Amino acid sequence: MLQKIKETTSFIEKTIPFRPEVGIILGTGLGGLVNEITIHYELNYEKIPDFPVSTVDGHHGKLIFGILGGKKVVAMQGRFHFYEGYKMDDVIFPVRVLKLLGIKYLFISNASGGVNPDFEIGDLMIINDHINLLPNPLIGKHHPEFGVRFPDMEEVYSRELIKKAKIIAKQKGIMVREGVYTATTGPTFETPAEYKYFRIIGSDTVGMSTVPEAIAAHQMELSCFAISIITDLGVPGKIETITHEAVQEVASKAEEKMTIIMQELISLL
């Protein structure tokens, strides 16, 4: 795996003369941030040796290199989920490659179901902690190049970035929530009993992504910032039938607010 990561990195370095300092992973229905990037280069995942290829509707599958908020960024349009059948090694493969390309920060967006009864559909939640119910992506051979064997997990999501994001949100008049994101395997959405369980164990939202990449990023000592759009509610009395299309629709309506926060925060780095 280490060899593959190094080979893929060196392919990208040879193909794209651009060294990003910020990595961005765009979630379901949240590709619009790309419109704010002054694009210098694009690279389809299919063209990158050993890169996994995305299979879900609404996930495009390319790396976008350019300038956002005055910083050199690389955005992943399309990410890899465990429910698609990838091994956890593959799910975090791109984050490892981006680290070797030189990023210092990782920004992640996703769509999730709110289980906190105060939340509404369309709300934004800054992730300040997580509960991982996916297999741990660091299981397996340890590569010291990527960090320690037993990473501390006290501050996976940079408190400094969270603090700045909250100030930005306030200045821009954007209401943000803050809380705990729980990652599950999917691809099923939750039963009412499961939503209730997730609330009891301490979640504010539940989704099927983000945590593997955040764990890998944290092991590699990247500063991580993640934001979730609440696309449906897993709150007793408010649970409605949910579809992937509905998730995409709500996410794309709320993404403008998320884009403003991400862009402003990146400009402050």
Where along the sequence are the contacts to ligand HPA (CB under 6 A)? Answer: 111-113, 189-190, 206-208, 231-232, 234, 242, 247
For the CB of residue 167, give the shortest distance to ligand HPA in the complex, in Å: 27
Size of the chain, expressed as the number of residues it contains: 269
Enumerate the H helices of the chain as residue ranges.
2-15, 88-101, 159-172, 192-200, 211-219, 244-267
Smallest distance, Å, CB 195 to ligand HPA? 7
Q: b vs e for 123-161, b when ≥16 Cβ sit within 10 Å of the residue's Cβ? A: bbbbbbbbebebeebbeeeeeeebbeeebeeeebbbeeb
The least CB distance from residue 79 to ligand HPA, in Å, is 13
| Cα gap 234→194, rounded to integer Å | 9
User: What is the distance between the alpha carbons of residues 25 and 94, in angstroms, rounded to a whole number?
Assistant: 10
- Residue with smaller CB distance to ligand HPA, 208 or 222: 208
Q: Which residue is nearest to ligand HPA (CB)?
A: 113
User: Nearer to ligand HPA by C-beta: 98 or 204?
Assistant: 204
* CB 183 to ligand HPA: min, Å: 9
CB contact at 8 A, 211 and 130: yes
Residues 6+ away with beta carbon under 8 Å from 95:
23, 25, 106, 213, 216, 217, 220
Q: Name which of 119 and 189 has its Cβ closer to ligand HPA.
A: 189
Nearer to ligand HPA, 27 or 66 (CB): 27
Q: Which is nearer to ligand HPA, 7 or 245 (CB)?
A: 245
Question: What minimum distance in Å lies between the beta carbon of 78 and ligand HPA?
Answer: 16
